[in-house]
């Protein structure tokens, strides 16, 4: 029995991906063990933060790093560091910036809602978001024009949530930041490559520990030594309201070890075989047409894509609702639902759960035909 079942909650089979609404990540046993051990011991927190920072810096190629309780907290803390720096009075006054430069310039197409608005996290850190350009067009000139002596940072959101076309390139933004003496902060929350943006010269880069890395609710900021030191100092200010726990840090570091050792190609191959089996079985159900397709962004992810045909006796949206309403609740990936297509993402599925999904889909379609 799952621990959540003890409180009367339904078991969830997650075939949708990393969803905060489903609890983000179910961690590996090694990570769970690190969480449990970390929770049961004392440690000098400053020493833990420093050791974790050094470990994360090594993983990212950055000069320094500091753990956070998530990427959203990372945006607020990084903003606070750019506004208040290491000045204790300024740190304690935030989110009031006491008249210090606090504008954070971001391309308008990067002003995303990831579950909450990035601009709100910027405000939480004492920043005032300034959106440069237009929703579908932001040039280097738009960004240059938005910079003034009120500017504290430039912000770039590397995410599938952001507008992908017509946006100023990160390379250009970094060049502008260098020229104007303004730090560049990159939100790379869900990105898989931990070294890329530091390698490009970004001043601070923010990651979520619970997304690509597969850690617990956690995250980190890595980058320039002086700015990371200022980030760490915010834990005596607004950072206190988003405190990262010792157990979260223990889990994050263990997840990072596993992430560095992972064999992504072997995992993708295994997942693909599971989805090919599932698609083959689903194709035997009248009214469905299934096949395996690669991730739209070209990543090594192969999902089962299930088209609910007009003769199925049920629409794709109705099938999704029945799957979600059951016990176990089955959550699929539904961004092509308007085309009558449901996707099964193998990455968050436990071994054998594809068989439960198949059985439930078969049962629902038999019910509606009866």
Ligand X SMILES: *Cc1c(COP(=O)(O)O)cnc(C)c1O
What are the residues binding ligand X (CB under 6 A)? 20, 70-72, 114, 157, 159, 161, 187, 189-190, 208, 210, 219
Provide, rounded to whole angstroms, the least separation between the CB of residue 148 and ligand X.
26
- Tell me the residue number closest to ligand X, measured at CB: 70
Provide, rounded to whole angstroms, the least separation between the CB of residue 106 and ligand X.
12
Provide, rounded to whole angstroms, the least separation between the CB of residue 335 and ligand X.
15
Give the whole-angstrom CA distance, residue 122 versus residue 69.
16
Residue number, 38 or 219, with CB nearest to ligand X: 219
In sign, the C-alpha dihedral spanning 272, 277, 282, 284 is positive
Give the H/E segment covering residue 344. strand 341-344
Provide, rounded to whole angstroms, the least separation between the CB of residue 272 and ligand X.
25
Residue number, 56 or 312, with CB nearest to ligand X: 56
What lies within 8 Å, CB to CB, of 266 at 6+ separation is none
What are the φ/ψ torsions at residue 138 (nearest 5 degrees)? -135, 115
Residue number, 64 or 112, with CB nearest to ligand X: 112
Residue number, 83 or 242, with CB nearest to ligand X: 242
**Phi and psi based region of residue 198 (left: phi greater than 0; alpha: psi -120 to 50; beta: remaining):** alpha
Residue number, 109 or 353, with CB nearest to ligand X: 109
Provide, rounded to whole angstroms, the least separation between the CB of residue 351 and ligand X.
26
Among 46, 56, 15, CA closest to 253: 56
Residue number, 71 or 279, with CB nearest to ligand X: 71
Q: Are strands 128-132 and 341-344 parallel, antiparallel or unpaired?
A: unpaired
> Helix, strand, or coil here: 91?
helix
Residue number, 62 or 71, with CB nearest to ligand X: 71
Question: 134 and 110 in contact (C-beta within 8 Å)?
Answer: no
Q: Are strands 64-68 and 103-107 parallel, antiparallel or unpaired?
A: unpaired
Provide, rounded to whole angstroms, the least separation between the CB of residue 365 and ligand X.
34
Cα 77 to chain centroid distance, Å, stands at 17
Residue number, 70 or 183, with CB nearest to ligand X: 70
What are 292's strand-pairing partners? 304
Give the whole-angstrom CA distance, residue 349 versus residue 341.
19
Provide, rounded to whole angstroms, the least separation between the CB of residue 68 and ligand X.
8
* Token pair for 241: 């309201």
Provide, rounded to whole angstroms, the least separation between the CB of residue 208 and ligand X.
3
Provide, rounded to whole angstroms, the least separation between the CB of residue 290 and ligand X.
29
Residue number, 21 or 89, with CB nearest to ligand X: 21
Token pair 């709100």: residue: 120
Give the H/E segment covering residue 171. helix 170-180
Give the H/E segment covering residue 343. strand 341-344
Provide, rounded to whole angstroms, the least separation between the CB of residue 228 and ligand X.
18
Torsion of CA 132, 209, 243, 16, to 10 degrees: 80
Give the whole-angstrom CA distance, residue 308 versus residue 288.
5
Residue number, 57 or 206, with CB nearest to ligand X: 206
> Helix, strand, or coil here: 84?
helix
């Amino acid at each position: 029995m799952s621990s959540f079942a003890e409180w009367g909650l339904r078991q969830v089979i997650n075939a949708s991906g990393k969803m905060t609404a489903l609890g983000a990540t179910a961690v590996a046993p090694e990570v769970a063990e690190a969480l449990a051990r970390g929770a049961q011991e004392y440690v000098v927190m400053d020493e833990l933060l420093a050791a974790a920072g050094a470990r994360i810096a090594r993983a990212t190629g950055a000069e320094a790093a500091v753990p956070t309780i998530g990427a959203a907290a990372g945006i607020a803390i990084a903003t606070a560091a750019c506004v208040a720096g290491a000045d204790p009075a300024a740190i304690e006054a935030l989110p009031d910036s006491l008249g210090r430069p606090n504008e954070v310039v971001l391309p308008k197409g990067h002003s995303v809602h990831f579950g909450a608005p990035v601009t709100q996290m910027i405000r939480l850190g004492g920043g005032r978001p300034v959106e440069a350009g237009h929703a579908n067009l932001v040039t280097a000139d738009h960004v240059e024009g938005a910079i003034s002596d009120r500017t504290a940072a430039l912000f770039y959101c590397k995410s599938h949530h952001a507008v992908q076309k017509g946006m100023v390139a990160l390379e250009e933004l970094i060049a502008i930041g260098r020229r104007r003496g303004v730090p560049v902060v990159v939100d790379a929350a869900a990105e898989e490559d931990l070294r890329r943006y530091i390698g490009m010269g970004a001043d601070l880069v923010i990651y979520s520990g619970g997304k690509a890395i597969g850690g617990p609710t956690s995250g980190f900021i890595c980058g320039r030594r002086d700015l990371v030191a200022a980030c760490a100092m915010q834990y005596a200010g607004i950072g206190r309201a988003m405190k990262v726990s010792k157990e979260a840090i223990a889990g994050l570091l263990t997840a990072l070890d596993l992430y560095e050792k992972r064999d992504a190609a072997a995992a993708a191959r295994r997942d693909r075989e599971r989805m090919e089996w599932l698609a083959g079985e689903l194709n035997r159900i009248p009214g469905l047409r299934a096949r395996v397709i690669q991730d739209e962004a070209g990543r090594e992810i192969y999902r089962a894509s299930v088209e609910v045909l007009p003769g199925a006796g049920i629409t794709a949206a109705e099938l999704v609702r029945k799957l979600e309403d059951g016990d176990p609740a089955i959550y699929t990936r539904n961004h092509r639902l308007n085309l009558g297509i449901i996707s099964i993402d193998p990455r968050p599925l436990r071994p054998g759960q594809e068989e439960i999904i198949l059985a439930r889909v078969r049962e629902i379609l038999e019910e509606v035909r009866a």
